[in-house]
Structures are given as structure tokens and as C-alpha cells.
Amino acid sequence: MSVMLQVGWFKYTRYRYGEGRRLLKMAPLHHHFEKSGWKETQVVVRFWIITMLLCLVGLSTLKLR
């Protein structure tokens, strides 16, 4: 998904401003965070935490009968 956003944004800004600008430092998204100075383990753990939170939100919205 981040690769599609990166390519689309680059093409749009090239059309709009005459030169392409990047949305992220590097796609896919986890490489953007690594380029920003995060360690690989830090990226992985934060994605795990986000995944667990989103799973809890999804499970809490289920209507069980």
C-alpha cells in the first residue's frame, strides 16, 4: 500500500510542480522508519503493538449474540 501511495504521490507532484517529491523517505513503510533512525527491532515491536490494539478494537466492535 505504501509503495502505491509513494508512486502515485511522486507522479502527482511531478505533474503539478514539474519535479517529483517523495511522500516517504523510502517505501515500503518500515524502511521509512529505519531511514528515520529507528532500529529494526523497534519498528517490529511498534507494529506488533499497533496490530494488537487494532485487533482489540475489531474484537470489541463485534456483536456477539
DSSP string, 1-58: -HHHHHHHHHHHHHHHHSS---SSSSSSHHHHHHHTT--HHHHHHHHHHHHHHHHHHH
pLDDT tens digits, residue range 17-55? 999 998 888 888 899 999 999 999 999 999 999 999 999
- The larger pLDDT score, comparing residue 2 to residue 10, is at 10
pLDDT score for 65: 55
Looking at the whole model, is its pTM more than 0.85? no
Per-domain residue ranges for the chain? 2-60
